[in-house]
Amino acid sequence: KPGRSRSLRQGIGYGTDTGGRFSMRYRDMNVFGLGHELQSNLYLSEVLQGLATSYIVPDDRDVNSCHSAHLNMQREDVSSYKTDFVALELAKTGSLKKRMLVTGYLKFQYENYTIGRQDSNARLVMPGMRFSGSFYDSASRPEKGFHFAVEARGTDPLLGSNMGLFQVIAEGGFI
């Protein structure tokens, strides 16, 4: 018998940096019986509130390939700054080999913020590419192996952003 396709988890707590906090996570692994996945995470605390939602549509190519949309909204208000943030990312992930993935994406991001007495905003239209691999001896109980990820992203006023930047981010680990 297949497992449940939907789950809901809640949490409540207190932290010295966040004050009282509440979280809720909803996940549906078979939206409308189509095999699509919906994930939504709600986080509420005295200083940080956020909602992150993803919708993933599997590709016919293989189990690791998909199209996805990610929406993230966040508000943070601490003594030194205040920020309101919204981002939408549209992505296409594909398999290169058995254990390697490549993801191309376009991210739209807008942020209003106040630091001290200065108000400002940032508007980004940012294309990017992620390349990752996972090479472990066992998927469920690895004893040796490694993983890596490299991402390059950037933007420019020519793309509709109010600033320019280019970043390369790399990470990895091994057992």
Residue 173 has pLDDT above 90, yes or no: yes
The pLDDT assigned to 17 comes to 86
Our CA dihedral for 57, 69, 65, 125, rounded to 10 degrees, sits at: 150
Please determine, for residue 3, whether its predicted confidence score (pLDDT) is greater than 80. no
E runs forming strands in the chain: 6-15, 19-31, 36-45, 48-58, 66-77, 81-97, 100-115, 118-136, 145-155, 165-174
Tell me the per-residue pLDDT of 24-34, one tens digit each, with 9 for 90 and over.
Answer: 999 999 999 89
**Interval 114-161: pLDDT, tens:** 998 899 999 999 999 999 999 999 988 999 999 999 999 999 999 999
- Residue at token pair 């939408």: 88
| The predicted structure's pLDDT at residue 4 | 84
| Whether 130 contacts 150, CB under 8 Å | yes
Residues forming a β-bridge with 155: 165
| 155, 124 contact by CB (below 8 A) | yes
Report pTM.
Answer: 0.88
- From CA 104, how far away is CA 171, in angstroms rounded? 18
Q: What is the pLDDT of residue 41?
A: 98
